[in-house]
Chains A and B, each alone.
Chain A
């Protein structure tokens, strides 16, 4: 039995269908990612599992219990990091951790926990004295006070610089190595590729595909991507002469060609030259999750830095 099972979950929120009949399951001990752009419905899905929102229809089960009916019992066993975490004012990190632990009727060795997330020297500091990365690590710590079985992380590294991001990734891996199941949402491709055992690609309330990141990429690994910018007209028929071009996506002013062989690059350039196309930003990319996304939706993934 999976530790989390979701079947045909539906939720309308703020006038739109945020979640449209999604089905997925999370196995104990894995790091499971829900990848998708903003507005995909990732946060809403997580909030339903965390007990913050109730589903309109469908099933959500955790630890074999129905989430909507066992809110209290489930809350004791999970840890949550919200997208924007703010804390009660005027309390030190130590005091906050002790408060959170008390809410679970537990005691916590706050120094040890803060040490674990690399904030050992900040025991008596206040949250507003921390940098972005430190605050995120503290939020992780606060989600661990009750030694949860499942940890929910909503965009754990958004807004962090690359160094801080790596620190948080390492922490997540360490946490997972203790046997804690991690469910995270992200709109960073690299994050999903680096961290997740499996990833569900979500867009506009629906799950498009679920698999291991490596497998997803391998399925379209035959393809690399050529892209360039042009304001000239580019006809799809031109590419018929270049059989290695498998798909063409036109997102004016960007043109993206999926090719299955790098040999075709010179042919592509010849075609452009023959038709007098002036272009810029010619680039070549080998397959990543972004290509999987493109493949599944026909749209380019708008990542945010």
Chain B
């Protein structure tokens, strides 16, 4: 019951932050539109339209950013103002707080994914298989991984100032090596190896496969499995590091 109320309340907060809600959807949409209009096809050799290739990538990227950037900054702000401390004196458990944060933000991510998908399909004619199950699972699973990254950063950063290099330090490499804008084989071998160790790569691949060729179940299951492993690892790590008591 506590978890349900925490979840509801956290989601209310997300919705009432009108600016955050709005920009969280408009910015990735804008990026997608801009890149889909540009003649990127001449730069990257693909046998599909770039807007089709890009859509799942942007979706994965959006999930990553919503997780790392927005949660890290939000949490750092709350911690520095003493909001978390106020919660600490209640019987609230760390795990309850974390899970409610994960669930409420994953719900927002679903909204982002739906919007971006509609945008891509109806305005750019991006291919979409119509499979709903896998994108849903990918959003939740992938979302959790990156939200936990965000919380982890918030555990180490006391201020925005300290959080900024950490979020960028993770976010930027993720984007460049994340299978978002271009396939991994466009990268030199060394970077490819690194990219294959990162979760975003598999989230993007999972979405791309689900959207374009969901019959490739082994690929999807592989991606889901890797994300699950990342998630369990991140959950254990964050739960032990996120400071609640001194």
Query: A residues engaging B (CB < 8 A)?
Result: 50-54, 71-72, 75-76, 78, 80, 82, 84-91, 95, 98-100, 102-105
Can you list 8 A-B pairs with a CB-CB distance of less than 8 A?
A: A52-B85, A52-B88, A54-B246, A72-B91, A86-B83, A88-B83, A91-B9, A104-B91
Q: Which of B9, B87, B91 contacts A95 (CB 8 A)?
A: B9
Tell whether, in the assembled complex, residue B13 and residue A90 are in contact, meaning their CB atoms are under 8 Å apart: yes
B83: chain A residues within 8 A (beta carbon) = 86-88
Interfacial chain A residues near B88, Cβ < 8 Å: 52
Residues of A within 8 A of B91 (CB): 72, 75-76, 103-105
For residue A138, give the distance in angstroms from its CB to the closest CB of chain B. 12
- Chain A nearest Cβ from B120, distance in angstroms: 31
Given contacts A86-B86, A89-B17, contact A103 B92 (CB under 8 A): yes
Scan B47-87; emit 1 where CB is below 8 A from any A CB, else 0: 00000000000000000000000000000001001110111
Q: Report the Cα distance A51→B5, complex, angstroms.
A: 24
Residue pair B12, A100 in contact (C-beta under 8 Å):
no
Residues of A contacting B12 in the complex (Cβ-Cβ under 8 angstroms): 90-91, 95
Report whether B78 and A51 are in contact in the complex, using a CB–CB cutoff of 8 Å.
Answer: no
State the CA gap A87–B84 with chains docked (Å). Answer: 8
User: Is A100 in contact with B89, judged by CB distance below 8 angstroms?
Assistant: no
Beta-carbon contact of A105 and B6 below 8 Å = no
Chain B residues near A53: list those with CB within 8 A.
246
Find residues 205-220 in chain B having any chain A CB closer than 8 Å to their own CB. Answer: none
Which residues from chain A contact B86 at a C-beta distance below 8 Å? 82, 85-87
Q: Which residues of A contact B78 (CB under 8 A)?
A: 88
Given contacts A72-B91, A80-B89, contact A89 B5 (CB under 8 A): no
> How far, in whole Å, are A220 and B51 apart by their CA atoms in the complex?
85
B17–A82 touching, CB < 8 Å: no
In the complex, A284→B90 CA distance in Å? 48
Are B2 and A103 interface neighbours, CB within 8 A? Answer: yes
Residues on the A chain within 8 Å of B1, using CB? 102, 105
Contact A90 B90 (CB under 8 A): no
Report A57 CB to chain B, min CB distance, Å.
16
Q: How far, in whole Å, are A99 and B1 apart by their CA atoms in the complex? A: 11
Interface size on B, residues (CB 8 A): 23
Given contacts A91-B13, A99-B6, A103-B2, contact A50 B245 (CB under 8 A): no
Q: Which of A86, A90, A98 contacts B17 (CB 8 A)?
A: A90
Closest 5 CB pairs of A and B: A90-B16, A80-B89, A102-B5, A86-B81, A103-B90
Residues on B with C-beta less than 8 A from A91 are 9, 12-13
Known: A91-B9, A98-B5, A105-B1. 9 other contacts (CB 8 A): A52-B89, A75-B91, A80-B89, A84-B81, A90-B12, A90-B17, A99-B6, A103-B92, A104-B91
Assembled-state Cα–Cα distance A232/B13 (Å): 63
Chain B residues near A80 (CB-CB < 8 A): 89
Contact B90 A75 (CB under 8 A): yes
B residues 135-149 touching A (CB-CB < 8 Å): none
B13 A82 Cβ-Cβ under 8 A: no
Residues of B within 8 A of A71 (CB): 245
Give chain B nearest CB distance to A61 CB in angstroms.
18
In the complex, A45 Cα to B223 Cα: how many Å?
51
B5 contacts A99, C-beta separation under 8 Å: yes
Please measure, in the bound complex, the distance between the C-alpha atom of A32 and the C-alpha atom of B191, giving whole angstroms.
64
* Assembly CA distance A78 to B89 (angstroms): 9
* Distance in Å: Cβ of A159 to nearest Cβ of chain B: 15
Smallest CB gap from B14: residue in A: A90
> Whole-angstrom distance between the alpha carbons of A89 and B12 in the complex?
10
B13 touches A88 (CB 8 A): yes
Q: Please pick, from A50, A86, A103, the residue contacting B82 in the complex, using a CB distance under 8 A.
A: A86
Complex CA–CA separation, A88 to B81 (angstroms): 10
A99 touches B9 (CB 8 A): yes
Partner of B90, one of A54, A84, A104: A104
- CB 8 Å contact bits of B5-25 with A (1 = contact, 0 = none): 110010011001100000000
Which residue of chain B has its CB nearest to the CB of A80? B89
Q: Which residues of B contact A100 (CB under 8 A)?
A: 90
Residues of A within 8 A of B90 (CB): 75, 100, 103-104
A188–B157 Cα gap in the complex (Å)?
A: 35
Given contacts A88-B78, A90-B12, A90-B13, contact A82 B6 (CB under 8 A): no
A76-B2 Cα distance, complex, nearest whole Å: 14
Residue from the list B2, B85, B245 in contact with A102, Cβ < 8 A: B2
